Amino acid sequence: MKRVFSAVRPSGELQLGNYLGAIKQWVEMQDEYDCIFAIADYHAITTEYDPKTFQQKVKDHMLFYLASGIDPQKCTLFIQSQNSNHTELAWILDTITTVSELQRMTQFKDKSQKEKVISAGLFNYPVLMAADILIYQTDVVPVGEDQKQHVEIAADIAKRFNHRYGEVFKIPEVKLVKETARIMSLTDPTKKMSKTGEDRSRINLSDADDVIMKKIMSAVTDSGKEIEYVEDKPAISNLLRIYSAYSGEPIEQIVAKFEGKGYADFKNSLAEVIIKKIGPIREKKIELEKDEELYKKTIFEGLEKAEIISRETLEKAKKAAGLI
């Protein structure tokens, strides 16, 4: 069975783009692959964050994963920083990664323009991500188009290590997530929906039903009244992608359903579709939050499994590099 590794940073609020682009697909993959999923908290501290609320963010992410259907009995689910094997391997990989490679990373260029202070951690982010992937002998990494470059550099680093020191790492392959997962902002359809953008630009998994309805009804639309999926109508096209992703209906069928109807009717129906999916997840998460022992048990058992797998790879890498 092929092994999958994927991780999400615990920054901001989990929103419906995260659900469609990662969590929903994780749930589907855990029955087909040997899955290892992590909360990438070390990656989250490469940009500005609040340490006082950070642990609650980590916990919220973990509980939303469980509430969405990720099953610790079917996969390995853990918190990245609790497994020091990742950072130990990252240092070894740092020594064979060039500055010029890291300078070419588009995510670094984008994020460094938004940060007041650019940390070495933000610059070295791709090397730690490479360690996250390679330490589990990963076959497949499911990512969006914006993260594809990170998997490609991980593959390059693995090939370089294997060539220099001997065969240790599997070469990971990119698995691009479904196109419908690319959900754009409700206030600016030219920008991807973000966990850290303004609250009204996204639907959070924690949003109450009335909040979801209000955000959808106030989402920006295009000129005209027709519900159509065309390039020059990015706002309504984005809402149609969301509708299709959550209802399971093809976009063409949704367009036909609302022929002759206005934006208000469409938005009201879209909000109901989202509430039907998100509501049960939100309520399940609230229920799980009451069971503190479940959370502790989940992260402890997940870490135990992750450490066993990763320790074996780390020792092989250290031996190959002459460190033991």
SS (H, E, C) 264-294: HHHHHHHHHHHHHHHHHHHHHHHHHHCCHHH
Closest among 52, 24, 23 to 39, alpha carbons compared: 23
Q: What is the pLDDT of residue 30?
A: 95
Q: What is the pLDDT of residue 179?
A: 55
Q: What is the pLDDT of residue 298?
A: 97
Catalytic residue among 195, 215, 233, 285: 195
Q: Clarify whether 114 is annotated catalytic.
A: no
Residue 25: both structure tokens together? 């697909």
Q: What is the pLDDT of residues 64-94, one digit of tens each?
A: 999 999 999 999 999 999 999 999 999 999 9
Q: What pTM was estimated for this model as a whole?
A: 0.90
Rounded distance between C-alpha atoms, residue 284 and residue 282, angstroms:
6
- DSSP 3-state of 39: strand
Quick one: DSSP state of residue 32? Answer: T
Q: What is the pLDDT of residue 59?
A: 97
Q: Where are the beta strands (DSSP E) in 222-261?
A: none
Per-residue pLDDT tens listing for the chain (324 residues): 999 999 999 988 899 888 888 898 899 999 999 999 999 999 999 988 999 999 999 999 999 999 999 999 999 999 999 999 999 999 999 999 999 999 998 877 777 777 777 889 999 999 999 999 999 999 999 987 778 899 999 999 999 999 999 999 999 999 887 655 568 999 999 888 887 778 899 999 999 999 999 999 999 998 888 899 998 899 999 999 999 988 989 999 999 999 989 899 999 999 999 999 999 999 999 999 999 999 999 999 999 999 999 999 999 999 999 999
Q: What is the pLDDT of residue 154?
A: 97
Catalytic residue among 192, 257, 305, 318: 192
Catalytic residue among 59, 111, 257, 305: 111
| Domains (range + CATH), the chain | 3-182+292-320 (3.40.50.620), 207-287 (1.10.240.10)
Q: Clarify whether 225 is annotated catalytic.
A: no
Question: Which one-letter amino acid corresponds to residue 259?
Answer: E
- Write phi, then psi, for 294 (nearest 5 degrees): -60, -45
Q: Clarify whether 305 is annotated catalytic.
A: no
CA angle 147, 153, 156 (to 5 degrees): 150
